[in-house]
Structure 1
Amino acid sequence: MQYANYVPPNFTILHQDINTPFITTDNVQEFADGENTDFETVFVLADFDSSDYNYLYKHDNRIVGPPVVLYCAAKEEPLQFSCRPLYSTTMLNLSLCFTGFRNKEEMKNLVNLVHHMGGTIRKDFSTKVTHLIAHSTHGEKYRLAVCMGTPILTPSWIHKAWERRDEALFHAGEEEFRTEFKVPPFQDCILSFLGFSAEEKANMEERTLKHGGSYLEVGHDRCTHMVVEENSVKELPFSPSKKLFVVKQEWFWGSIQMDARAGESMYLYEKNDSPAMKKAVSLLSLTTPNSNRKRRRLRDTLAQLTKETEISPFPPPRKRQSAEHCLSIGSLLDISNTPETCKSSKPSKSSTPVLSKQSARWQVSKELYQTESNYVDILNTILQLFKFPLEKEEQVGGPILAQEEIKTIFGSIPDIYEVHTRIKNDLEELLTDWLEERSVGDIILKYSKELVKTYPPFVNFFEMSKETIVRCEKQKPRFHAFLKINQAKPECGRQTLVELLIRPVQRLPSVALLLNDIKKHTSDDNPDKITLEKAIESLKEVMTHINEDKRKTEGQKQIFDVVYEVDGCPANLLSSHRSLVYRVETIALGDQPCDRGEHVTLFLFNDCLEVRNHTNKPITILHRTQLHLIHLLIFKQSIHD
């Protein structure tokens, strides 16, 4: 194959890199009109906007740019074949589709650039399309791209890729490059907000601007969307036009989470007096709590209404009692209204035997079960609403958090959930077949080793978990939106993720108090009295273990802080047996005038002393007798303070 090179700017580099014979010419016509069938002439042009290019293109000659030759030489591959002029491989193997373009000239120019960079164009959107180039967030192609997770980019992506066409090994499909050209979810959208507090409204308006939209006051005729806080707004202030989307706040946060405009039909706001809601209310008034058949029929009818009217399947959030005191729905043990005729019924795992006079010991044991059941529900909510969705490999818009961040936030929550599910089941079985002699303490003792294993890793790093949530929520808009959506669901009871995650920190002390209460109502001749004491002691040991581990963790963290703070700090300062006892800021009283008044920091460890002066050079003292003296002085000082 013969190469004819028409004076490219990097002629010398090209010659050295490809190590292939070629011909240079100032007259492309003498080769362009050749009809030699023994070889093919490929023209390498550095300018695709010249008269020579137009002449060669008009006569159907094969044209490539210098980056194509350099790319193939680096890969040790034959020249890329293309029926069109190919300047670079910047968009090789990419298949693009366009939507929302009205200017034909702009479209034609973009198509040519894509072809020059090795990409292909498809008229209709399909699974073969790798990128959608969109001028707006409207249209069927946009919706399909969102559903399929196809990147949706602005035309600027093509122009910027063309600017980098001479970088032989650069590819426009690289995620880091294309990220800045994503079509923002609120592009072409003008939003207004109804029913939100001033603080929340300001936050949403700020995020609207960050995600490509704009906002106006409620009622402005230019608004395309009115976002409604459905729990506080009972009636719209005006009748919206057909052009205005009236949507619930979940649409707003869902769009940010997906990094794409969500379909409005799933999030339309429904007034309480709408025909669908009136029909549902009338059906509710006709049903009675004791009619299972009517209850099922109501459930099916409401499900159908939800489907027909596209009402969100999630009811509005409601207030919820404290996790340690509220009862689970339809509690197995709530038999206070059971009629006397049920006393002789045979006990089973689905019902609690009715006692004419329920003992105080039984009542407190029942409370222990109810709080345990509620605690397990909270842990399940954390896993189902937050952890598992964040861990999904395929997410619209890509992963919301890195795996390391997810691990830091949730820690050993799955292990805690597993052990408490088994505790709950054992308590349920015990109370179902209740006898005063049956042991509550045995259940806690049975799982004490697992509690020691699962709780310290979470409790000790809870502050780090909380800090990670705060940082990610501040730095990652999609995570902030994810939290907004899920924290508004009824399962969360209007609690934030941080508030839910603090429950494991509070749970063991709560269990210890309840066990102590059960012990008070247990007679001295009951074998469970001694077992309960052992169970309470085992929980204290778990909490002591947690506190010791926490002190060690904090001590290690403090040592790391010292290492990072002091330049030239000895590497051997980091040791598993070493902990920071005290840090003192002092002023030096040296013999030399130049030394006096210097600020000196003393880092007192359990086995050494680090002294840092203004030169930041540490001096290590390893005399234990002197350390004991310093410990004593600090102890006396703390007493005076």
Structure 2
Amino acid sequence: MNYWSGEYNLMNLHDRADNTDNVSTLSYQPDSTSMNDDDQTLQNNGLNVTYDDSENREKPKIVVFGKNTPDEEIIHILQNKFSYPVFISKNGHEFKDEHNVVFYTDDFSGIDFNYYNVNDKRILGPGVVRFHVREKTPLVIPREGRPKYCYNMQKHKICINFYPKSEVRQIVDLIHFMGGSAKREFTVNGILVTRQAKGSAYRLAVSVGGLILLPSWVKVCWDHRDDTDFDILDKNLIKAHTVPCFAGHKIFLCGFKEEDVEGMKEKIEKYEGNFVESYGECSHAIFVDNHVNFLNWPIISHNYSDKVYHVTAEWFWTSISVGSCAHEEAYSVLKKPLTTGIVSSRKRVNEGVRRSPCDFKKNMSHGSMDGTLDRTGSSGMSVDKMFSEEDINDVKVTSKQSKRYMVCMELLGTEENYVQCLRILEYDFKAEFEARNESGECIINAIQIKQIFSKVNGLLLVHTNILSCLKNEISNWHDNNAIGRIYSYEAEELKRVYRPYINNFDTACNTLNECSENEQFHVILKLIESRPELKRNSLKDLLIRPVQRMPSVVLLLKQLLAKTDRTNTDFVFLEHAIPKIETVVQETNSFLRETHDYTKSLEIFNDIEGLPAEIITSSRAVIDTLECCVVGASGSFWPEYVKKNIKIFFFNDIFVIAKIRSRYESKSNMDMSFKETKSLSRQASIANIFKRRPDKPYKYINYLLFPKIREVQFFSDSNCSGIFIIKMRLQLSDDLVIVKPLNETVPHLDPKSFFKQVAEHINKTSRQFEVEVICGEDIAQLERFNPEEAILIRKAIVQVSSANATSNMTSNRSSQFKRALTTVSLNFQSSLNRFGSKSTLNTIN
């Protein structure tokens, strides 16, 4: 039986438990009162005894009671260490009328404990005794009506702020039993115990960095009351019982994409919030940004409530990031408090119109940064936003010049927009992650930050200079201002900074994808992306902007050239600038292709075991690959690979042939084993189990130069799906190998898909070459001149044909077996249905 549900009338006990230590106001200064003010320590003639009442100098009796067997160790400590007279009783009732007595029990939930507590008796627990023994301090006797089991919460001020009242009484009592102080109001350096992430006490606790914990934390501490070394502020314990940031909130999402809504719903549920479909049910309405026009949303404008917090998505992600509910006023979408009459009755839309959260996105602009970060790259910035009024009045242009001027304005607007993108990458994203790393919150490491953002700073410096020059030319506008000269002079710098960025772009994207799997990184990323200045642009959107920038500059310069007279001095500058910028684009793209080719080649080189070092070179690029099974061979080394799966790597100057490791072969590849019945001995099977598997999927066989290939022939008929006969001349012999493509990497009716590329490449590099298609008559004619070669080809044709026939037969048998199973299943189900009908059921006695 729990102490709060005993058989006695516990009204007095409940009143006492509810009488928490009172603090009249929210104090910002630490409480100077000692946390041990419940106890008054006095020395009695040099004995290690401490009393709680200065008028009582006589040593009290300690009565040990309870249904459990008394702890002999505790009795020995009380008698010998602290020199107390100890009496053992079943329930202690014979001592209930005595004044100078202390009751000891390890059961703080029984009927007897409740009785003594209601009657203001002094009650002691085992944790108090063990604590003083360990600390070698005098035993402190609790005061009347304040039982103490242990000191696990000693010196902690805990504010209780939740309902229902019955549970509050339980929590207050447990805090007192563990030596803590329960407060009605939160104080600095205190701990707030609540269930919801709201209220004045919660806001104060957040502002001072206090702990905000669930009532379950107190109960877990009570479960460990016998552990004198238990740390109630252990990091893992605090993390498990911290109040979730959305606890008690009802959240309505406005204007988000469907995929964003699903992701945010998961976060709301994870952090103990409630997602609601209706604005009228919510406590928080979250918008994409702070550009909100309630006139577009009648469901909100008609039912607007001052009790609802209207906040941006940044509030949502900030709350998750910091682990507590962020202050709503800092992220409000409302510049001024709105009255209930937001929209006049004449402007209100039909009340019957209802839209889901996803429908609100139709009213949101696809947006850009203040009209500049649009997806087309063009600027929506008006002239009066860019220049002062006197600058605009000074600009005088003719109708013919205005076209050239407007192109220049578009060039300036897009450049300003682009520089803003780079600044956000450098000063919002990169700086945020670096600052968190410096503060010890290592979300991603320094290497990952460098891989994503390291090449942005160079772009920012060059384009900041270009932007400054453009502003200077356009703010002092004349028809002959040389816009082309700016890009002509900066072409080399552009080439210098764009090559490393383009080269690093794939690495940056891959690193970003890897980091996004980290939930903490994802939350911080969403937090930054939800800031109003980003206008719904993601980090991925911004990273790709440099890739798109230079081609758009070329197009704008060509438009400007078309609007410029030949007599204009800028005409010559533009003619020189455009080819230079085009060269920047071409060289960066070419460099990117070379890098991709080299990276792909390196990956292949790394996958081949035993590859000679001289084959690995940066100039060697892979063109294509072909997986095949060797079905016949003659010559120096090929016969040992018959019935083995190999892979031919077609590089720009050589072939590399490698054996496919058996454990890397796909199921479709295994079909090319010609359906031979093979068995392994038990010894061989066990040996294979314990044999160390190779790390690389391919084992090097040999390489082959293009001039060594004499000819390639292709044969197929109704039974044989297709084989390739490759004849080559090596140093010691003329070799022949017959291969059957695997996985249909070469379509049976199109032998040119792989070897056509080989033929075209050989035609370009050395000599005339083509793939020859042969038939049965050609093989018969070959038999007259080279019977050994003809026999080898015929054997290969027979093997491939029999493999195809076996495969078809197996497939047919499988289909028949499936149909038979289906028939049996249907018949069995029909029987069950008949058995289960009411007419066939018999009464079971």
TM-score range, shorter chain: 0.5 to 0.7
Residue identity in the other structure for 1:62 = H
- Deviates further, 53-62 or 247-256: 53-62
Measure the CA separation in 1 of the matches of 2:233 and 2:610: 45
Check whether the contact 1:405–1:468 (CA below 8 A) recurs between aligned residues: yes
Closer/same/farther in 2, CA of residues 457 and 28 from structure 1, 3 Å limit = same
Is 1:245 matched with 2:308? yes
**2:346 — aligned with what?**
none
**Equivalent residue for 2:133, pick from 46, 51, 63:** 63
Measure the CA separation in 2 of the matches of 1:188 and 1:604: 64
Q: How far is the alpha carbon of 1:548 from its aligned partner? A: 3.7
**2:699 — aligned with what?**
619
The number of aligned residues is 535
Is 1:581 matched with 2:622? yes
TM-score normalised by length of structure 1? 0.63
Residue identity in the other structure for 2:300 = L
Q: Deviations over 1:195-216 (max 9, x none)?
A: 6666655444333212212334
Measure the CA separation in 2 of the matches of 1:197 and 1:504: 26
Measure the CA separation in 2 of the matches of 1:395 and 1:82: 47
Measure the CA separation in 2 of the matches of 1:170 and 1:460: 55
What secondary structure sits across from 1:62 in the alignment? helix
Q: How far is the alpha carbon of 1:508 from its aligned partner? A: 0.8
**Equivalent residue for 2:76, pick from 27, 30, 50:** 27
**Equivalent residue for 1:188, pick from 224, 245, 248:** 248
**1:234 — aligned with what?**
298
**2:35 — aligned with what?**
none
Q: How far is the alpha carbon of 1:187 from its aligned partner? A: 1.5
**2:415 — aligned with what?**
372
What secondary structure sits across from 1:421 in the alignment? helix
Closer/same/farther in 2, CA of residues 358 and 466 from structure 1, 3 Å limit = same
**1:426 — aligned with what?**
469
**Equivalent residue for 2:497, pick from 441, 454, 458:** 454
**2:574 — aligned with what?**
532
Check whether the contact 2:161–2:184 (CA below 8 A) recurs between aligned residues: no
Residue identity in the other structure for 2:244 = P
What secondary structure sits across from 1:584 in the alignment? strand
Please show how residues 200-599 of structure 1 align to structure 2 within 5 Å.
201-218=261-278, 224-225=283-284, 227=286, 230-231=292-293, 232-236=296-300, 239=303, 245-250=308-313, 251-266=315-330, 274-275=338-339, 319=367, 320=371, 322=375, 324-330=377-383, 353-356=395-398, 358-359=400-401, 364-383=407-426, 386-393=429-436, 404-434=447-477, 438-469=481-512, 475-476=518-519, 479-480=522-523, 483=526, 486-487=529-530, 489=532, 491-520=533-562, 529-559=571-601, 561-562=603-604, 566=607, 577=618, 580-590=621-631, 598-599=644-645
Measure the CA separation in 2 of the matches of 1:50 and 1:571: 78
Q: How far is the alpha carbon of 1:423 from its aligned partner? A: 0.5
**Equivalent residue for 1:636, pick from 751, 754, 759:** 759
Q: Deviations over 1:140-166 (max 9, x none)?
A: 342234334555444556777898999
Residue identity in the other structure for 2:759 = K
Q: How far is the alpha carbon of 1:381 from its aligned partner? A: 4.6
Measure the CA separation in 2 of the matches of 1:558 and 1:190: 51
Q: How far is the alpha carbon of 1:634 from its aligned partner? A: 4.0
**1:600 — aligned with what?**
646
Closer/same/farther in 2, CA of residues 364 and 122 from structure 1, 3 Å limit = same
Check whether the contact 1:512–1:539 (CA below 8 A) recurs between aligned residues: yes
Q: How far is the alpha carbon of 1:500 from its aligned partner? A: 3.4
Residue identity in the other structure for 2:503 = N
- Deviates further, 172-181 or 508-517: 172-181
Higher relative contact order (CA 8 A, sep 6+): 1
TM-score normalised by length of structure 2? 0.50
Is 1:106 matched with 2:171? yes
Q: How far is the alpha carbon of 1:59 from its aligned partner? A: 6.7
Q: How far is the alpha carbon of 1:369 from its aligned partner? A: 2.6
What secondary structure sits across from 1:448 in the alignment? helix
Check whether the contact 2:655–2:705 (CA below 8 A) recurs between aligned residues: no
**1:21 — aligned with what?**
none
Measure the CA separation in 2 of the matches of 1:551 and 1:524: 37
What secondary structure sits across from 1:137 in the alignment? coil
Q: How far is the alpha carbon of 1:356 from its aligned partner? A: 3.7
Q: Deviations over 1:200-235 (max 9, x none)?
A: 5544433321221233442776x5445567555234
Backbone CA RMSD of aligned residues? 5.6
Measure the CA separation in 2 of the matches of 1:626 and 1:164: 78
Closer/same/farther in 2, CA of residues 559 and 197 from structure 1, 3 Å limit = closer
Closer/same/farther in 2, CA of residues 444 and 189 from structure 1, 3 Å limit = same
What secondary structure sits across from 2:474 in the alignment? helix
Residue identity in the other structure for 1:577 = S
**1:136 — aligned with what?**
196
Residue identity in the other structure for 1:618 = Y
What secondary structure sits across from 2:460 in the alignment? helix
Measure the CA separation in 2 of the matches of 1:518 and 1:504: 21
Check whether the contact 1:569–1:618 (CA below 8 A) recurs between aligned residues: no
Measure the CA separation in 1 of the matches of 2:78 and 2:406: 101
Q: How far is the alpha carbon of 1:371 from its aligned partner? A: 2.6
Check whether the contact 1:609–1:627 (CA below 8 A) recurs between aligned residues: no
Measure the CA separation in 1 of the matches of 2:582 and 2:502: 15
Q: Deviations over 1:270-309 (max 9, x none)?
A: 6999459979xxxxxxxxxxxxxxxxxxxxxxxxxxxxxx
**1:343 — aligned with what?**
none
- Deviates further, 181-190 or 503-512: 181-190
Q: How far is the alpha carbon of 1:422 from its aligned partner? A: 1.1
Measure the CA separation in 2 of the matches of 1:80 and 1:542: 80
What secondary structure sits across from 1:589 in the alignment? strand
Measure the CA separation in 2 of the matches of 1:194 and 1:325: 28
Measure the CA separation in 2 of the matches of 1:445 and 1:157: 68
Larger radius of gyration: 2
Q: Deviations over 1:27-58 (max 9, x none)?
A: 334531369xxxxxxxxxxxx9699x967766
Check whether the contact 1:99–1:141 (CA below 8 A) recurs between aligned residues: no
Check whether the contact 1:152–1:183 (CA below 8 A) recurs between aligned residues: yes
What secondary structure sits across from 2:76 in the alignment? coil
Measure the CA separation in 1 of the matches of 2:591 and 2:139: 69
Measure the CA separation in 2 of the matches of 1:159 and 1:578: 69
Residue identity in the other structure for 2:705 = T
Q: How far is the alpha carbon of 1:581 from its aligned partner? A: 0.7
Q: How far is the alpha carbon of 1:543 from its aligned partner? A: 2.4
Residue identity in the other structure for 1:614 = R
Closer/same/farther in 2, CA of residues 266 and 107 from structure 1, 3 Å limit = same
Measure the CA separation in 2 of the matches of 1:391 and 1:80: 49
